[in-house]
Amino acid sequence: MFAHPDFDEHERVVYVREPAAGLRAIVAIHSTALGPAFGGCRMWPYRTDDDALADVLRLSRGMTYKAAICELPYGGGKSVVIGDPRRDKTPDLLRAVGRAVESLGGRYIVADDVGTTLDDLAVMRTETRHTAAATAAAKRPLPVTAWGVFNALLACAEHRFGQAGFTGLRVAVQGLGHVGYPLCRFLSEKGARLVVSDLDPARVASAEAEFGAASVPAGAIYDAACEIFSPCALGGVLNDTTIPRLKARLVCGGANNQLASQRHDLALAERDILFLPDYLANAGGVIDFHQESVDDSPAAVLKSVERIRRISAQVLDQSRRTGLRPLAVADAVVRERLDAARR
């Protein structure tokens, strides 16, 4: 474990098994230096246990960085349940997840993620106090991640193209789920021309009808003629194969861990493609959770998420002044805040 390439000094990694409930899960707590670890519960039919481990380690680290860059009083954690949510998810399994969270004594606060829902969190709450979406207003779904990505894109468009919106810009959106689809709406309202892809033909058809989007097959989105590429599906999509195919001058999206490895940040820069760290662009969820304890009205939540535009602009401005890539700038800010908290 300690030599795992994605370990990154995690504080705790817990394997959970409850055969009677059908639960096999891993909970990873990356850091509690700034506060209790916060992060979603992902349910996915991982090909191997090693794949599940790598995913939970990378995702929990990303949650630490999201909270730190946004100056929020939380650390980073994540849980992954190995299984198909369409077939294997049951109330017994969700209650078992809740017991696993409760056993950590408040070190980890669980939220919804890929394969889990706000209703699933309600079931977990029968076994643990440590969940997100516990207030009445928080139970109403809001497109907080998409709104955060949109605000990050506003800062990026001003930095890269010198304009306040997206008029005349083509944006290729990969993935039309809970992030990608509402992001298309926000972009379309600000004048963007959209190219979209998704594995679900119905979602593609809906985007074509509602936003006038052009569509391409899922594997062809990297070749789309566009100024902006916005990955909003799974991670690892920026790699040795896909980066040489990109036509975009800017990459900013909602997917976690978009870079297959850290070296691909340099590969993008060598092609003069600006990359905004995904953990900054998609930090809307952790901001939403924090806002629950301040003012959880929808308007207040979305207003709070808009800080992502300001922070993105600060990172990009410092990048321009120093010559460092935005990822290096943001990483340095995060490490400084974590080190100060530990001291």
Rounded-to-integer distance, Cα 72 and Cα 220, Å: 38
What's the CATH superfamily of 12-64+72-134?
Leucine Dehydrogenase, chain A, domain 1 (3.40.50.10860)
Strand partners, 112: 41
Confidence of residue 13 (pLDDT cuts 50, 70, 90): very high
Give me the helix-helix angle, 144-161 and 180-189, nearest 10°: 50
Provide mean pLDDT across the span 58-79: 97
Q: Active-site residue among 66, 78, 89, 303?
A: 78
Give buried/exposed letters for 326-342 (b at 16+ CB in 10 A, else e).
bbbbbbebbeebbeeee
pLDDT of residue 78: 98
Which pLDDT belongs to residue 133? 81
Catalytic-residue membership of 78: yes
pLDDT at 139: 64
123-161 pLDDT per residue, tens? 999 999 999 987 666 667 789 999 999 999 999 999 999
Q: What is the pLDDT of residues 79-98, one digit of tens each?
A: 999 999 999 999 999 999 99
Task: Please give the pLDDT value at position 217.
Answer: 96
What residue ranges of the chain are covered by domains with CATH 3.40.50.10860?
A: 12-64+72-134
Q: E-assigned strands of 168-309?
A: 170-174, 193-197, 214-215, 228-231, 250-251, 274-275
pLDDT confidence bin for 293, thresholds 50/70/90 = confident
Task: Report whether CATH 2.40.50.100 matches the domain 144-282+310-335.
Answer: no
DSSP-assigned letters across all residues of 85-132: TTTT--HHHHHHHHHHHHTTTTSEEEEE-TT--HHHHHHHTTT-S-BS
For the full predicted model, state whether its pTM sits above 0.85. yes
Q: Where in the chain is the domain with CATH 3.40.50.720?
A: 144-282+310-335
Amino acid symbol at 262: Q
- Mean per-residue pLDDT of the chain: 96
**Residue 297 backbone zone (phi > 0: left; psi -120 to 50: alpha; other: beta):** beta
Give the model confidence (pLDDT) of 108-132 as tens digits. 999 999 999 999 999 999 999 999 9
